[in-house]
């Protein structure tokens, strides 16, 4: 192994012994990762992991250094989503660790497999709280925020520690894992042969979880009983990489389907059964809803309330790998517990060749609604007004993705997010990456960088001006690694809108307002990329096309009418209002 270069020093009779090859903690961590197919690490260097990054790079792992750990963590998280292997984020102790922790918690919430590996300070000093350099009991802090947390104290345990972390991240419902490596561990030396034997290759890290035949039969019975079936595809379905079986399930069933944000493109949004443009109709009127890797959380109004029509009017079939997910918000008539691929394959097999199509009254009612809504939207997307509104700008970007369906779209913001999700059709699986379950700002540049690195495809990041600010410094990282990322900032001078006024007589601007007409494109210029400012949809389309053709790091500052957005985008209903506030 790589550590064999180190020789023990000794004297006299111990000379032979001294020639025994040795290795150390640094090499063992790297070898353990490589043995398990880890080829990329995202992180920020510093004590005690600077050499670990260097040596990992020397050993052939791609080590991508970021400007802030949260962005490195987000890159690792989305790598997990895209590859089904844990993405690795490497951070320094206490503050670096905490910076990475938001991404780890977000990965766990979104069921993305990732491992946050963090160096930590000396246990003896930390535990006696004697004020070590970057002192923190990181394991205790991480534990409630991730799926599993481990600490390795002995070099001989590095292999097993890495193996446990990998298996914990990807098996069952995937999630974030914390691996604590105290500084002393890296320099610990051990006999190279013994060390090699201590490494663990994780066999079958995410074993198939086959659904019970009775549960499959029950699910099919419920689906068959439907007069108005609906299939909802969640990002769990996208993660599963069971694209052909999912398509077969949807097409055999003949049911309208609704993709959740990151499941868009599993089947094209232009598919005749896609009910994305008739969302409120299908949610309200369906009588049987089959959830495929989608949770009944806030994003689906918890499966109840006004959006879901008459109380008790629906039966749910739910496919999920996590048994606890069943009945989380409403009764599930047919729980199907297993991995999505196995469950969907079993359903397709059970449907046979004579599965009845849903009543035409249902599918044609959905289609009528859908066509009505699409027709209503069309002229808004064609408007070439300046200043641009969201729809005009998104109409241009929608055309770009239609022309380049294999490009990856990253998206965050409020209006910029909600409207782009609705307007931009996706055509291929796992091409839309966004704020996920938490609606978190700050994923933009980390996701974009990892998407470019993992897939080699063009990346288009559509960012609200506020959203961009959370990770904007990583444009330097994009330039440093010369990544084919085009960032488009929807610049409406603030959060939701740029027109708010300070309610007091004070001189400060309102809390949601930024510097007017900021020249974000100069940030990209500063690092050698292409910076462009555009004010019309035509200019926007031209600039993005050029960026997608060239693959050069590009930032397009798109001036959007500061009055065009609405408060909180499409989720203003979640925003508490003061009864006392004057309107």
Ligand X SMILES: Cc1ncc(C[n+]2csc(CCOP(=O)(O)OP(=O)(O)O)c2C)c(N)n1
Which residues are at the interface with Mg ion (CB under 5 A)?
464-465, 492
The nearer residue to ligand X, 323 or 572, going by C-beta atoms, is 572
Residue that is written with structure tokens 């009764």 in the block: 331
Q: Residue 344 or 440: which CB sits closer to ligand X? A: 440
H/E run at residue 96: helix 94-110
DSSP 159-222: HHHHHHHHHHHHSSS--EEEEEEEHHHHH-EEEHHHHHHH----SSSS---PPPHHHHHHHHHH
Residue 318 binds: one of Mg ion, ligand X, none (C-beta under 5 to 8 A by kind): none
Please identify the residue of the shown chain whose CB is closest to the bound ligand X. 464
Is 421:411 a contact under the CB 8 Å cutoff?
A: yes
Q: How far is the CB of 556 from Mg ion (least distance, A)?
A: 15
Distance CA(216)–CA(344), nearest Å, equals 9
For residue 122, what are its two tokens?
């000396």
Please tell me what DSSP assigns to residue 358.
P
Closer residue to ligand X in complex, CB, 71/492: 492
User: For ligand X, which is the closer residue by CB, 86 or 569?
Assistant: 569
210 DSSP 8-state letter: P
CB of 160 to ligand X, least distance (A): 35
> Please, what is the minimum distance in Å from the beta carbon of residue 1 to Mg ion?
51
Please identify, using beta-carbon distances, which residue of 492 and 536 lies nearer to Mg ion.
Answer: 492
Q: Which does 415 bind (CB under 5 to 8 A by kind): ligand X, Mg ion, none?
A: ligand X
Q: Could you identify the residue written with the tokens 């010369």?
A: 482
Residue 136 Cβ vs ligand X, minimum distance, rounded to whole Å: 22
| Residue closer to ligand X (CB basis): 205 or 565 | 565
For residue 271 the two structure tokens come to 């598919």
Least distance CB 417 / ligand X (angstroms): 7
| DSSP bridge partners of 289 | 230, 316
In the bound complex, what is the minimum distance in angstroms from residue 559's beta carbon to ligand X? Answer: 13
Out of Mg ion, ligand X, none, what residue 275 binds, judged by CB under 5 to 8 A for its kind, is none
To ligand X, the closest distance from the beta carbon of 105 in angstroms equals 11
**Structural tokens at position 120:** 């930590």
CB of 529 to Mg ion, least distance (A): 22
Q: Are 33 and 62 in contact (CB under 8 A)?
A: no
Nearer to Mg ion, 369 or 497 (CB): 497
Q: How far is the CB of 545 from ligand X (least distance, A)?
A: 23
Which of these, 58, 30, 43, 39, lies nearest to 159 by C-alpha position? 30
Give the residue with the Cβ less far from Mg ion, 164 or 533.
533
By CB under 6 A, name the binding residues for ligand X.
413-416, 439-442, 464-467, 490, 492, 495-496, 565, 569
% helix, strand, coil for the chain, step of 5:
45, 15, 35
CA atoms within 13 A on the CB side of 349: 10
- CA-nearest of 471, 518, 472 to 493 is 518
Cα–Cα–Cα angle for 92, 66, 449, rounded to 5 degrees:
135
Q: At what angle do helices 25-35 and 50-58 cross, to 10 degrees?
A: 50
CB closer to ligand X out of 291 and 441: 441
Q: What is the CA radius of gyration of the chain?
A: 26
- Residue 306 carries which DSSP code? G
Contact assessment for residue 318 and residue 336, using Cβ atoms and an 8 Å cutoff:
yes
């Amino acid at each position: 192994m790589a550590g064999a270069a180190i020789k023990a020093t000794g004297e006299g009779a111990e000379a032979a012994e001294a020639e025994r090859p040795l290795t150390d903690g640094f090499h063992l961590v790297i070898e353990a990762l490589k043995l398990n197919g880890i080829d990329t690490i995202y992180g920020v260097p510093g004590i005690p992991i600077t050499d670990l990054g260097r040596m990992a790079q020397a050993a052939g792992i791609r080590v991508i250094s970021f400007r802030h750990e949260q962005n490195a963590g987000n890159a690792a998280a989305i790598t997990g989503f895209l590859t089904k292997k844990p993405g690795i984020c490497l951070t320094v102790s206490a503050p670096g660790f905490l910076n990475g922790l938001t991404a780890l918690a977000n990965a766990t919430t979104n069921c993305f497999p990732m491992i946050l590996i963090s160096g930590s300070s000396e246990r003896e000093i930390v535990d006696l709280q004697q004020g070590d350099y970057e002192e923190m009991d990181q394991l205790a802090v991480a534990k409630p925020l991730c799926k599993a947390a481990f600490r390795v104290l002995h070099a001989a345990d590095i292999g097993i520690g890495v193996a446990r972390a990998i298996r914990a991240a990807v098996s069952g419902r995937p999630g974030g894992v914390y691996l604590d490596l105290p500084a002393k561990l890296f320099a610990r030396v051990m006999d190279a042969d013994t060390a090699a034997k201590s490494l663990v290759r994780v066999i079958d890290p995410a074993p198939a979880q086959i659904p019970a035949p009775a549960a499959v039969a029950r699910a099919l019975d419920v689906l068959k009983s439907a007069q108005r079936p609906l299939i909802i595809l969640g990002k769990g379905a996208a993660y599963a990489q069971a694209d052909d079986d999912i398509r077969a399930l949807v097409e055999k069933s003949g049911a309208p389907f609704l993709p959740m944000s990151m499941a868009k493109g599993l089947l094209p949004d232009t598919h005749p059964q896609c009910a994305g443009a008739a969302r409120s109709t299908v949610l309200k009127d369906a009588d049987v809803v089959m959830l495929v890797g989608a949770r009944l959380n806030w994003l689906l109004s918890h499966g109840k309330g006004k959006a879901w029509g008459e109380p008790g009017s629906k039966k749910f079939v739910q496919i999920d790998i996590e048994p606890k997910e069943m009945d989380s918000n409403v009764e599930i008539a047919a729980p199907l517990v297993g991995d999505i691929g196995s469950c969907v394959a079993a359903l397709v097999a059970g449907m046979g060749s004579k599965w009845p199509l849903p009543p035409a009254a249902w599918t044609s009612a959905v289609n009528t609604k859908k066509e009505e809504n699409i027709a209503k939207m069309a002229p808004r997307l064609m408007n070439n007004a300046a200043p641009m509104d969201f729809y005009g700008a998104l109409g241009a970007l929608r055309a770009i993705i239609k022309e380049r369906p294999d490009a990856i779209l990253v998206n965050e913001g409020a209006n910029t997010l909600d409207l782009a999700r609705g307007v931009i059709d996706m055509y291929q699986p796992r091409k839309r990456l966004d704020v996920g379950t938490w609606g978190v700002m700050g994923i933009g540049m980390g996701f974009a960088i990892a998407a470019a690195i993992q897939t080699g495809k063009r990346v288009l990041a559509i960012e609200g001006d506020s959203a961009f600010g959370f990770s904007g410094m990583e444009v330097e990282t994009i330039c440093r690694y010369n990544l084919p990322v085009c960032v488009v900032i929807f610049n409406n001078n603030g959060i939701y809108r740029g027109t708010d006024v300070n309610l007091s007589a004070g001189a400060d601007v309102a809390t949601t307002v930024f510097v007017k007409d900021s020249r974000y494109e100069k940030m990209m210029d500063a690092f050698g990329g292409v910076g462009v400012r555009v004010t019309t949809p035509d200019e926007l389309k031209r600039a993005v096309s050029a960026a997608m053709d060239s693959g050069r790091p590009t930032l397009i500052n798109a001036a959007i009418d500061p009055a065009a957005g609405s408060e909180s985008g499409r989720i203003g209903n979640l925003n508490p209002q003061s009864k006392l506030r004057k309107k």
